[in-house]
Every structure is written in C-alpha cells, then in structure tokens.
Amino acid sequence: MPTLYYAAGACSLAPHIVLEWIGAPYEAVRVRFGSKELQAVNPAGAAPTLREDDGWLLVQAGAILDYLARKHPEAGLGGGDGLRARAEAHRWSAFLTSDLHAAFWPIFSPGRYTTEKGEDAHRATREAGCRLAARQFGVLDRHLDGREHMLDGGRSVIDAYAFPMIRWGMKLLPDGLEAFAHVQALHDRLAADPAVQRILAREAAA
C-alpha cells in the first residue's frame, strides 16, 4: 500500500484528504521539517512525499494529486476526462502551487525573502506576502462565485489542494477570509466532510 509522508497542517493535508476520499488502504507517516527521515524521501526536505510499495517516490503536491486521481479513476476525483477538463485541472493545480502557495512563503519564512536582518524587515516581508496571498484569494473567490467545486466535473483533488491554503489564509491574513465569501463557503463545505474531519483530527493529534 502507498505511504504518505505528511507534516501536520502543511500542504500535504491535500493528498492526505484525497487518500481518505479514495478509501483504499494507505499508511500515513508524520514527519518533521528538517528531519533525516524527510530528507531521505524528499530531496527538498519538504512534505508531501508519496512512496509506493516498490520504493518509488513521488514528490510535489500537484503531481501526487494528479497521480492519485489517475491511479483511482473509480474515485472520480480528476475533475473529468475531456481535453479541456484536464487542462482546467492543470491550470488550477498550477495556480495553487505557483501563485497561492508561493504567496505564503514570505509569511512562513520571511528570512528567505529578505537579506535585511531584524524583526521590522521580517514584518514587512510577511506583510508583502499577506498582500500577495489576498490578491490570489481574490482570483480564487471570483472563480468560485456560483460554483460548489473548483472544477466543473464535481468534487476533485483540486478542492482538496485548495483546502490547506484556505486554512492558512483564515489563520494568517490580517482580515482572514472576510472579503472572500466564496472561498470561505468552499472551506465550510470541505470542513463538514466526515473524511476531511477524520484527517484533521489525525493531523491534530500529537
């Protein structure tokens, strides 16, 4: 069975939810950033990593989610099979990886984004990240207006991918997601899902 290496509350929450939605056996291994265990399975020392039984390792959340959706077509989490449906899934996966997730980096690790030392510089860097993240949530919010899911094909891995970032936004942006009612609504729908609740409880447990 596959093994997911995850860190609590990280973007690895997305494949963790997807594995639970799929319902096939898997193992979830909690890892710490910077640990030797994580370095051994991910050259970037980052979560998530998926390991198959034969030792094959896959990193990058977007690639793992696409792989899981294709490995389990019976779960119907790919957002549809048409040419354009697949392009839309790639489009939103790329947006989440490169635009929304990336906007959080200066918030999580300001020291990587400024050569200035001191708390003032780090605060300013975090603020810049918050502004950028808010702009990206605006893109997401406009897309979600009138939609229940990110993709036309219904519930998909892309909903799960958005979920950890939405949680970060609620917690870390100065005004939370107050201005993004459609994003908040997607969060609330996902948070009410029993599978999502099981994974949140597992990740919250010490």
Ligand X SMILES: N[C@@H](CCC(=O)N[C@@H](CS)C(=O)NCC(=O)O)C(=O)O
Binding site for ligand X (CB under 6 A): 7, 10-11, 33, 45-48, 60-62, 97
| Minimum distance, C-beta of residue 74 to ligand X, in the bound complex (Å) | 25
Which residues lie closer than 8 Å to 113 by C-beta, 6 or more apart? Answer: 105, 106, 125, 128, 129
Identify which of residues 48 and 79 has a Cβ nearer to ligand X in the complex. Answer: 48
Q: Give the span between the Cα atoms of 135 and 180, in whole angstroms.
A: 10
Q: What are phi and psi of 119, to 5 degrees?
A: -65, -35
| Minimum distance, C-beta of residue 97 to ligand X, in the bound complex (Å) | 5
Residue 145: CA atoms inside 13 Å, Cβ hemisphere, count?
Answer: 8
Identify which of residues 45 and 80 has a Cβ nearer to ligand X in the complex. Answer: 45
Identify which of residues 126 and 192 has a Cβ nearer to ligand X in the complex. Answer: 126
Whether the bond between 48 and the residue before it is cis, its omega within 30 degrees of 0, is: yes
Q: Give the span between the Cα atoms of 92 and 99, in whole angstroms.
A: 10
| Minimum distance, C-beta of residue 93 to ligand X, in the bound complex (Å) | 9
Identify which of residues 46 and 140 has a Cβ nearer to ligand X in the complex. Answer: 46
Instruction: Encode 5-31: b = buried (16+ Cβ within 10 Å), e = exposed.
Output: bbbbebbbbbbbbbbbbbeeebebebb
| Minimum distance, C-beta of residue 36 to ligand X, in the bound complex (Å) | 14
| Minimum distance, C-beta of residue 17 to ligand X, in the bound complex (Å) | 14
Residue nearest to ligand X (CB): 46
Identify which of residues 57 and 185 has a Cβ nearer to ligand X in the complex. Answer: 57
Identify which of residues 182 and 202 has a Cβ nearer to ligand X in the complex. Answer: 202
| Nearest C-alpha neighbor of 27 from the set 56, 50, 57, 43 | 50
| Minimum distance, C-beta of residue 106 to ligand X, in the bound complex (Å) | 12
